[in-house]
């Protein structure tokens, strides 16, 4: 199993009281499976993605990525899991402003020791970025910046890709094109995929959908 969550719980201190956001979340994701995660604003979708990525720790329960339990790992071990197995795509693109498109595209794969020049060239072509390789992120449109962020994640061929409303900053047509490309590429690298989205239309394009409400999955 690529990903297993068992009874995951998380609460935050808000204005002096402890508020439960995730109240016992359990699910499994097979290798190569595509899951849409929906839920109202504030229902805990981003919190759940952060826990799966090991960017934050749950208060209780278990998260296993490719059989490895994230609890009890050191920060360095968690960083190694993220580098080696997990790709993250956020709404805010998070490109490195001082690097060119080409440098941004290669950055994560190079860090993970997985840079494959042929695959990088194919990604550049398929994402329509060939003419922008020497530009800097600020010289790109939002859709182009998100395509660079997606290429950067896919270049390392992660086992699991976590995307938090990746088209939330794009207009609907641009977002549809970007998601379609992303789904094709995620399938090609046979990655497991969790897409946080508010769109039922986008959620319908994936293999499965889970809805987060009142701290539990439906
Ligand atoms: N670091 C934090 N400290 C305190 N409260 C937090 C923290 N992070 C998230 N929360 C709270 O946890 C709840 C869930 O937040 P989260 O961002 O996971 O929701 P979401 O479903 O992703 O929302 P949206 O769709 O609006 O992005 C919210 O009430 C939020 O205020």
How many C-beta neighbours within 10 Å does residue 168 have?
15
- Domains located in the chain, CATH noted: 3-217 (3.40.50.300)
How confident is the model at residue 137, as a pLDDT? 98
CA of 200 to the centre of ligand 1 (A): 21
CA of 44 to the centre of ligand 1 (A): 5
Ligand 1 contacts (CB < 6 A) are 12, 14, 21, 39, 41-47
How confident is the model at residue 213, as a pLDDT? 96
Given the cut 0.90, state whether the ipTM is greater than it: yes
Please give the number of the atom of ligand 1 that sits closest to the Cα of 43: 21
Q: Whose CA is nearest to atom 10 of ligand 1?
A: 12
> For residue range 129-175, what is the model confidence (pLDDT) as tens digits?
999 999 999 999 999 999 999 999 999 999 999 999 999 999 999 99
CA distance 179 to 30: 21
* Nearest C-alpha neighbor of 31 from the set 160, 215, 167: 160
> For residue range 3-56, what is the model confidence (pLDDT) as tens digits?
999 999 999 998 889 999 999 999 999 999 999 999 999 999 999 999 999 999
pTM for this entry: 0.95
């Amino acid at each position: 199993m690529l990903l297993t969550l068992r009874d995951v719980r998380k609460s935050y201190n808000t204005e002096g009281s402890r508020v439960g956001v995730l109240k016992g979340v359990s699910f499994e994701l097979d290798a190569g499976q595509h899951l849409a995660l929906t839920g109202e604003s504030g229902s805990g979708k981003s919190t759940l993605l952060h826990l799966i990525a090991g960017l934050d720790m749950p208060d209780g329960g278990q998260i296993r990525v490719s059989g490895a339990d994230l609890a009890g790992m050191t920060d360095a071990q968690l960083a190694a899991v993220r580098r080696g197995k997990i790709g993250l795509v956020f709404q805010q693109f998070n490109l490195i402003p001082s690097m060119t498109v080409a440098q941004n595209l290669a950055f994560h794969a190079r860090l993970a020791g997985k840079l494959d020049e042929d695959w990088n060239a194919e990604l550049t072509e398929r994402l329509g970025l060939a003419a922008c390789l020497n530009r800097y992120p600020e010289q790109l449109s939002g859709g182009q910046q998100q395509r660079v962020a997606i290429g950067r994640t896919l270049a390392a061929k992660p086992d699991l890709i976590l995307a938090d409303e990746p088209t939330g900053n794009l207009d609907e047509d641009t977002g549809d094109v970007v998601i379609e490309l992303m789904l094709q590429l995620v399938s090609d690298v046979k990655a497991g995929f969790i897409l946080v989205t508010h769109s039922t239309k986008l959620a319908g394009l994936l293999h499965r959908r889970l809805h987060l409400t009142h701290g539990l999955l439906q």
